[in-house]
Copies of this chain bind each other. A is one copy, B any other.
Amino acid sequence: MKKLINDVHQVVRESLEGFALAHADLVDVHLDPDFVTRHHPKADGLVGIVSGGGSGHEPLHAGFVGEGMLDAAVPGPVFTSPTPDPILEATRASDHGAGVLHIVKNYTGDVLNFETAAEMAEMDDIEVTSVVVNDDVAVEDSLYTAGRRGVAGTVLVEKIAGAAAERGDDLAGVTAIATRVNDEVRSMGLALGPCTVPHAGTPSFELGDDEIELGIGIHGEPGYRRGRMESADVLTKELYERVRDDLGLATGERVVTLVNGMGGTPLSELYIVHRALAALLDADGVTIERSLVGNYVTSLEMPGASLTLLRVDDELLSLFDAPASTPAWK
């Protein structure tokens, strides 16, 4: 294992310290317990939003803390849920008198620990709601999940719910918007190879020279099949059709697309995937309203990509377009 780190047990902490130094104008990093808040808190009376989960998916979540998105993020150890304590502290710091929404990816540890933190926050008279994101159409139930996994669609929930909170929607309203985004978003990914968790020291799985994993999870959890390497066009079509069919996407509808890199994929390849995706949507009579291409929800240095489609109407689109200023979304 070759990584630009100092100590496998200090990766998250030292990375957070570097993140704090690089983005002191946008975020504050708190240690013991570890969580990240906006440097310029939002106004009193606005709903707060907290997300979090295991580290290793950067820029998710801390990269999306800032104006127009999250009030706070809680990074756990690599690929491991944060405990309730930092989630509680982040929730307290994000309450501006109007309650706090938790955006939680659907992994058993995250769901449990956010629930516990919410119960503790309610003892402080902070009203907390929760939306559990489960956009991955690849598999039902998985290594760390009952039901579907939450993957790259999470960033769209954070963006749009963040904009709703910023415009002054109340807690029920922000929660309803986040729920609607989760209902309208679907994703699926593939891996060309594994990643290596620092404290494990060896790759999380093995693939043959000509083998890929379709439906990969963002922690390297198995997908729905292993297959031979194919062209970008063939692979994009397979991902697209499963996402489209699950979403029930129909001619005349409108989408926001996200072609997401898993960490080790050149940007040029992601654009080739986007090219294929755009042609498929065009052939189906679906309009691409906005496109994201890049590393948003990664799996350390995993080579691979995921494809996310969000069905939008004018309201969701205007919230998507609303200004945001965070380390990773400007």
Residues of A within 8 A of B (CB): 2-7, 11-12, 14-19, 21-23, 55-56, 58-59, 63, 192-193, 209-210, 212, 229, 231-233, 235, 263-276, 278, 288, 291-293, 295, 298, 300-301, 303, 305, 330
Contact = CB atoms under 8 A, between A and B. Distances in A.
Contact of A21 (B263, B264, B275): B275
Contact of A4 (B12, B22, B265): B265
Given A18-B278, A22-B271, A272-B15, A266 B58 contact: yes
Contacts of A23: 291
A196 B34 CA distance: 38
A186 B276 CA distance: 39
Given A2-B210, A4-B265, A210-B2, A22 B274 contact: yes
B210 A21 contact: no
B232 A269 contact: no
B235 A4 contact: yes
Contacts of A268: 11-12, 15, 55-56, 58, 300
A229 B3 CA distance: 9
A277 to B, nearest CB: 8
Nearest to A304: B4
Chain A interface secondary structure, helix, strand, loop or mixed?
mixed
Interchain residue pairs A-B with the least CB separation, the first 5: A18-B271, A18-B275, A4-B269, A58-B267, A15-B268
B274 A18 contact: yes
A75 to B, nearest CB: 9
B56 A6 contact: no
A232 to B, nearest CB: 4
A22 to B, nearest CB: 4
A231 B6 contact: yes
A330 B4 CA distance: 27
A303 to B, nearest CB: 7
28 contacts: A2-B192, A2-B209, A2-B229, A4-B192, A4-B269, A4-B273, A5-B231, A5-B269, A7-B231, A11-B268, A14-B232, A14-B271, A15-B271, A15-B272, A15-B275, A18-B271, A18-B274, A18-B276, A21-B288, A22-B274, A22-B291, A22-B292, A56-B266, A58-B266, A264-B264, A264-B301, A266-B298, A267-B295
A59 to B, nearest CB: 6
Contacts of A270: 4, 18
